[in-house]
Structure 1
Amino acid sequence: MASASDKNRRLLMDLLETDGNGNCVDCGVAEPKWASSTLGVFVCHSCSGLHRNISQISRVKSIFMDPWEAEEVKFIASAGNNAAVAKYEQKIPAFYYRPTNTDCMLLREQWIRAKYERKEFIFVDRQEPYSAGYREGFLWKRGRDNGQFLSRKFILSEREGALKYFNKQDAREPKAVMKIQNLNASFQPSKIGHSHGIQITYLKDNSTRNIFVYHEDGKEMVDWFNAIRAARFHYLQVAYPGAPDTVLVPKLTRNYLKEGHMEKTGPRHTEGFKKRWFTMDDRRLMYFKDPMDAYARGEVFIGSKENSYTVLAGLPPTTQGNHWQFGITIVTPDRKFLLACETEADQQGWIAAFQKVINRPMMPQEYAVEAHFKHKP
């Protein structure tokens, strides 16, 4: 005869079949195997670990391994994921970043804390740190020459359309003015070596510039990230009047399509191959001597197949000087770029990333970017 615990577990498993419960309520991954007996939601294993950080609010247990009381199951049956979303996600600003299971732990933890601990999406006044249109504070910024992180004052002003930072506390003139128009922020904890690390990129003279920053307080860093997204959202609303949020929100910030080491040779293909760090950012393929360099050594525009861009596995038979055997040839209307990867898996991953971009038709504004690349000295 089945025990009461087995019966409760079966009831829980039945609840997983209910609409909305088949995915983690926080990151959306399928088939959650944990549940919160106090919030009445189903979560994945990874998010269950983050719920333990707010144990005063959420008590999580494994559906399959932990014993369940009838009262707990009854409560979850009366709640569930859809009810929790309706309650805790009532007033999420369109620009606010909703992390998925592929995002870094900091973004996911702060999302969970914002929802259940701080109740930011129930009470709009709690969103002020990132929705005010103005933000200032100190972040640790990596020095360009010595690689040390130093405290720098940052000011984000929607009205001025810029993010600025100052080298000295009392400096009148900013060291850099980064226009919101072409600003991007991306969490890069492993590259920066800090779990709260963000890479900020902007265009200067139409070339990409990188700065690397972090803050010891995780909430502070995520607030900065969402403040940048809010400023970009309001800028794009003006730039594209009448465009729906579904069009604007994907443009607010972007993660890189792919990053990693490859070898490259020069335009004549007679020079030796050099190892470089490559970043595929939308249609810009950039290469750096070091992953944390402020400036790219070079940038390549990757257009669409309709405009005679293709990517091929392998290198021309006459190629010499590459140490790595897994070649890639990028064909553009003007020239061929020869690259080499260390492993076949790297080669396949890069080809897939290039193919994704090449298969996408070019937008009208991308033709202007392409033209600029062609006229670069």
Structure 2
Amino acid sequence: MANRDKNKKTLLELVKLPENSSCADCGAADPDWASYTLGIFVCLKCSGTHRNLSSISRIKSIRLDFWDDELVQFMKANGNRAAKDVYEKFVPVFFYQPQQDDCDVLREQWIRAKYERQEFTEQNKLRAYSSGIYEGLLWKKGKDNGQFLKRKFVLSDQDFTLKYYKEDESKGPKAVISVQSLNATFQPQKIGHAHGLQITYAVDDHTRNLFVYHESGQEIVNWFNAIRATRFVYLKTAFPTASNGELLPWTTRNFLKEGFMEKTGPSQREPFKKRWFILDGLDRKLLYFKTELDAVELGVIFIGTENHGYSVSECMPKGTRGNKWKFGMAVETPDRQFVFMCEQERERKEWIEALRQVIAKPMVPQDYTTEANIRRRK
């Protein structure tokens, strides 16, 4: 007969081992759940996906559920490191491995790819998202009425482009987008769909957005990783001496912060207008749009270092008109001071913290080119 207290103590000792002390799937600290068929320790969020894979993975709480002796011995004989050696043995270098704060579809498809489809157990397994060409239909937000329409997309590492077509493909692509500036980030809340993906790219130094989704979680994550794969090949070609570790942050990236703020003009006597801001920390750009789903930016502010004349601080502007929000901050650049108003003090603190994070980061050679291009636009 199983000794409940002894088995619970053993499990709690196992989960404290360095190799088991974070979730096997998303890295969250102190997992409280375990798959007793895979021999891994997972967090509450990831356990939900495992419950939907009942033919592969069976879940128990290591604190609340009853454990038989043989299941405890199985956990003892396996663990997160052993599972990683099997199920993550051949993960492509570009493949995105979700973290605890990533959206549900990324985490779910990572778990399914590992244990259900076993995509990474064989070295030369054919994976559609790394074949060099990826194509299919995606729902894309139209610019006129905001409705989502089905469009064919084609991504290729032969000419490093992403193309999309309207209904009549014989007329050629509606747009040909260079992979050089391409970025993709999941935005389920903003787009209003659990599989919503924002694709960002540059045209003539201006940032443009595409908002897309697919009904299938596997398909939209395949698109995301296909973009990462193509970007990685491009970066290896453009920067042949750079290491994988140096290139991977540039394959795709999440924005450091987003949200509405009020903005005034250069003289600070113009009325404040509400704008949607995006801080791209890697590219050192603070972009602003009329709404969160606009296709084209209204403007961009380069964020350099303190040594180059950039700073951010709280402020309370005087003599301004039209602002409904009361929590101000000023961004100083070599050319001018920008004043923004936030709705809540918490939001102002978050913006200042995020901007200071960028300001504190040393500039690299391509940052000077970005700065010069943005200042030339003024």
Compute the TM-score of the two structures, normalised by the length of structure 2: 0.97
* Residue number in structure 2 paired with 1:342: 343
* Residue number in structure 2 paired with 1:309: 310
The answer as to 2:260 corresponding to 1:261 is yes
1:60-111 per-position Cα deviation (integer Å, ceiling 9, x unaligned): 1111111111010000100001100111110011100000001000000000
* Residue number in structure 2 paired with 1:245: 244
1:177-202 per-position Cα deviation (integer Å, ceiling 9, x unaligned): 11111000000000000000100000
Q: How far 1:294 moved relative to its partner?
A: 0.2
Q: Give SS of 2:253's match.
A: coil
Letter paired with 1:181: Q
* Residue number in structure 2 paired with 1:278: 277
Work out whether residues 138 and 152 of structure 1, in 8 Å CA contact, stay in contact via their aligned partners in 2. Answer: yes
Pairing 1:312-323 to 2, within 5 Å after superposition: 312-323=313-324
Pairing 1:97-176 to 2, within 5 Å after superposition: 97-176=96-175
* Residue number in structure 1 paired with 2:327: 326
* Residue number in structure 2 paired with 1:187: 186
Work out whether residues 153 and 169 of structure 1, in 8 Å CA contact, stay in contact via their aligned partners in 2. Answer: no
Letter paired with 1:209: R
Q: CA RMSD in A?
A: 1.3
1:321 and 1:271 map into 2 onto residues whose CA distance is 8
Work out whether residues 315 and 338 of structure 1, in 8 Å CA contact, stay in contact via their aligned partners in 2. Answer: no
Q: How far 1:346 moved relative to its partner?
A: 0.2
Letter paired with 1:253: T
Work out whether residues 184 and 252 of structure 1, in 8 Å CA contact, stay in contact via their aligned partners in 2. Answer: yes
2:273 and 2:242 map into 1 onto residues whose CA distance is 44
Q: How far 1:306 moved relative to its partner?
A: 1.5
2:2 and 2:135 map into 1 onto residues whose CA distance is 59
Letter paired with 1:365: Q
Q: How far 1:300 moved relative to its partner?
A: 1.1
Taking structure 1 as reference, are residues 23 and 224 closer, same or farther at Cα in structure 2, changes over 3 Å only?
same
1:315 and 1:337 map into 2 onto residues whose CA distance is 12
Q: How far 1:175 moved relative to its partner?
A: 0.9
Q: How far 1:171 moved relative to its partner?
A: 3.2
Letter paired with 1:239: A
1:306 and 1:360 map into 2 onto residues whose CA distance is 11
Q: How far 1:286 moved relative to its partner?
A: 1.2
2:298 and 2:169 map into 1 onto residues whose CA distance is 33
Work out whether residues 313 and 329 of structure 2, in 8 Å CA contact, stay in contact via their aligned partners in 1. Answer: yes
1:344 and 1:333 map into 2 onto residues whose CA distance is 27
* Residue number in structure 1 paired with 2:295: 294
Gaps of 5+ in 1: none
Work out whether residues 39 and 79 of structure 2, in 8 Å CA contact, stay in contact via their aligned partners in 1. Answer: yes
Gaps of 5+ in 2: none
Work out whether residues 306 and 361 of structure 1, in 8 Å CA contact, stay in contact via their aligned partners in 2. Answer: no
1:333-364 per-position Cα deviation (integer Å, ceiling 9, x unaligned): 00000100010000000000110111111111
Q: How far 1:276 moved relative to its partner?
A: 1.0
Query: Which shows bigger deviation, 276-285 or 331-340?
Result: 276-285
Taking structure 1 as reference, are residues 84 and 242 closer, same or farther at Cα in structure 2, changes over 3 Å only?
same
* Residue number in structure 1 paired with 2:67: 68
Work out whether residues 8 and 68 of structure 1, in 8 Å CA contact, stay in contact via their aligned partners in 2. Answer: yes
2:96 and 2:295 map into 1 onto residues whose CA distance is 26
1:112-133 per-position Cα deviation (integer Å, ceiling 9, x unaligned): 0000010100124545211111
Query: Which shows bigger deviation, 140-149 or 120-129?
Result: 120-129
Letter paired with 2:353: A
1:289 and 1:242 map into 2 onto residues whose CA distance is 40
Q: How far 1:321 moved relative to its partner?
A: 3.6
2:215 and 2:319 map into 1 onto residues whose CA distance is 52
Pairing 1:17-28 to 2, within 5 Å after superposition: 17-28=16-27
